[in-house]
Amino acid sequence: MATAESLSLIKSADLIRREPLDYGGFGEVYLCYHKTLGKVVQKTVYTGPPRNRRQKQSLLDEGSLMSRLSHQRVVKLLGVILEDGDYSLVMELIPRGNLLTMLETVPVPVSVKGRIILEILEGMIYLTGNQVIHKDLKPENILLDKNFHIKIADLGLSTSPVWSKLTKEESRRQSSLGRRTSASAAGTLCYMAPEHLKSIKTRFSEKSDVYSFAIVVWVILSGHKPYENASCEEQICHCVCQGDRPDEDLISSDTPQDLIQLMKTCWKEEPCHRPTFKDSFESLLPFYEEKLAANVKVDLESLTRLYEGPEEMLEKLKSITPEDAPLCSRDSPGPLSSDIGPVEAGIEDLSFRTAEESLPDASVYKMLAQLPASSRTAGEPASVKSWTKPSTNPNPDRAEDLHRRPASSFDGLHRPELTSHLSMPNSDYNWLQHPHHPPYTRIKSCPDTASPDSGSRPVTISNASAIQIGNHNTINVQGSDNSSSSTGPINRTRNNELLLKYEEHKVTESHLEVVRQSVGRNWKQVARKLGLTDIDVDTIEHDYERDGLAEKVHQMLMCWRMKEGLLAITVGKLCRALEGYIEPFVFQQLLLKSQDAAGGP
């Protein structure tokens, strides 16, 4: 099982600039510029007297658990600050602010509302599958990224009792000093299930979050805050326990009944009568695909023109960015652009070579391509995969940096069987869990002892399927006794026959996994052939520049699936987009996946 990398301990001194943003139920919130992470969000949980060593270790342990919650619909914890007078969580920045602010600022098309509802369900399926009960699900805790995809925030109360306890201590301490504390509990009470308003002994469960989700759906559909006419918190509690719910008359008459019915089912009085998140997702997905998905692209374009994000946040984002902020420094995780050079799956140590230096000599590709099938390991492509790391070192006096940082966290809590149709499992995680290639050992080049002459010293690399070689190196690929259909000559006629036969078949996760492992640096060209716009491509490049090439390929495929809809992504479309950018044996592998799924010969 892949293990998550250890949680980063961040120094408050590394937060170069800081602007107050908000005060939430889990501490004060600041927009910050970190000298290596860039723009981040700091949640200051506790500013009181120092904690002892045992308490600090407990905070660190809980932070590690939070950081292992790694999903595209959940805000990522980047690190913690554990300093006297400053105990904070450092989170990724989600640029368009929270959902409630957008709903109150601009009209949101119904297709986008439908996608937001589905994505909330997707995130909650992941959390529930990992035994996480949110306990405070509300629009303020649902954030929007640049493409109006959602991320669920503020998991502190549900996953971190020690951090939560610190929050309460800080609240009491600030109150005793006559300073403001967290906002009124009324905001949270509106989303709390009636069984918890009736008795403080009732334990929270998934059905508690399902009720909160129903109220969130009402806010999304109506654009209002719930119970705006209530005079006090006690009235809200009393009326909800008596069966009152937010006013359905505030929902527009042209709102699809499928969304309204889902909402009403989820806010039923008895928890046992409410559906699970997974059931809700599965019931809503067909309607979304049939009625809403086709309009999302156009509606998002108009929404993007109307709404950039909260004005205050946009101004502060500009103010915290240093004018002389370096694009890349030796001690910072600069952009891992797929155009600069190949990158291993996950976040790795950076190569400061230029694109020209990073590319292997063309003769290496030619030599590998001309090798007979019998001289390659079973299942091994006669190509250099784009996710392998260059090992060239043209300067014999310069020591090669063999230090490798661990890849992004791939937590053991992840459960692929609970991942929904809208979200594909992290490709890096699957690569670590079920490697398709044997592990390889990087062997240092020796340009001072090897030359292009016939007397050059050969280099033998064993147990490897993905190697990038620099200039002046020779490799001898050992043969294998094993045989596989992929190592034989590629029958192009057979491929064409299979394509004609299976081109209308639906693309499955197994197809996408093959693409993730194969498309590499050509992902932008493939993305455009799949119908993604330059804006889509640039957004993926920007948003996931720190995550590496494999994650960009994953996000590209996810974006295509979201745009087309599950029923519209066919094997034919995928294969034609990949034509010219993958090896023939990979093309055949994709088609054989369809044949196997269909039970054909």
Give the three-state DSSP class for 398.
coil
Tokens 């989170």 correspond to 91
Check: CB of residue 96 under 8 Å from CB of residue 143. yes
Check: CB of residue 89 under 8 Å from CB of residue 77. yes
What is the token pair recorded at 342? 């190949």
Q: What are 144's strand-pairing partners?
A: 150
Residue 165 CB neighbours (<10 A): 15
Check: CB of residue 181 under 8 Å from CB of residue 175. yes
Of 72, 118, 115, 71, nearest to 280 by C-alpha is 118
Positions annotated as catalytic residues are 136
Q: What are 151's strand-pairing partners?
A: 143
Of 280, 228, 233, 274, nearest to 250 by C-alpha is 228
Q: How far apart are CA 330 and CA 333, in angstroms?
A: 8
What is the token pair recorded at 393? 């070192």
Please give the helix or strand (H or E) that residue 401 lies within, else none: none
Describe the crossing of helices 571-578 and 509-518 by its angle, rounded to 10 degrees.
10
Could you tell me which residues come within 8 angstroms of residue 425 by beta carbon, excluding any fewer than 6 positions away?
Answer: 414, 416, 419, 509
Q: How far apart are CA 172 and CA 156, in angstroms?
A: 18
What is the token pair recorded at 105? 């600022």
Instruction: Fill in the amino acid letter for 331.
Output: D
Instruction: Fill in the amino acid letter for 325.
Output: A
Of 225, 206, 15, 193, nearest to 103 by C-alpha is 225
Give the three-state DSSP class for 563.
helix
> If you ran DSSP here, which 8-state letter would residue 520 be given?
G
Please give the helix or strand (H or E) that residue 74 lies within, else none: none
Tokens 């001898």 correspond to 476
Instruction: Fill in the amino acid letter for 123.
Output: G
∠ Cα 496 502 503 (to 5°): 80
Of 65, 188, 72, 187, nearest to 120 by C-alpha is 72
Describe the crossing of helices 509-518 and 549-564 by its angle, rounded to 10 degrees.
140
Residue 17: half-sphere exposure toward Cβ, Cα within 13 Å = 15
Q: What values do phi and psi take at 597, rounded to 5?
A: -65, -35
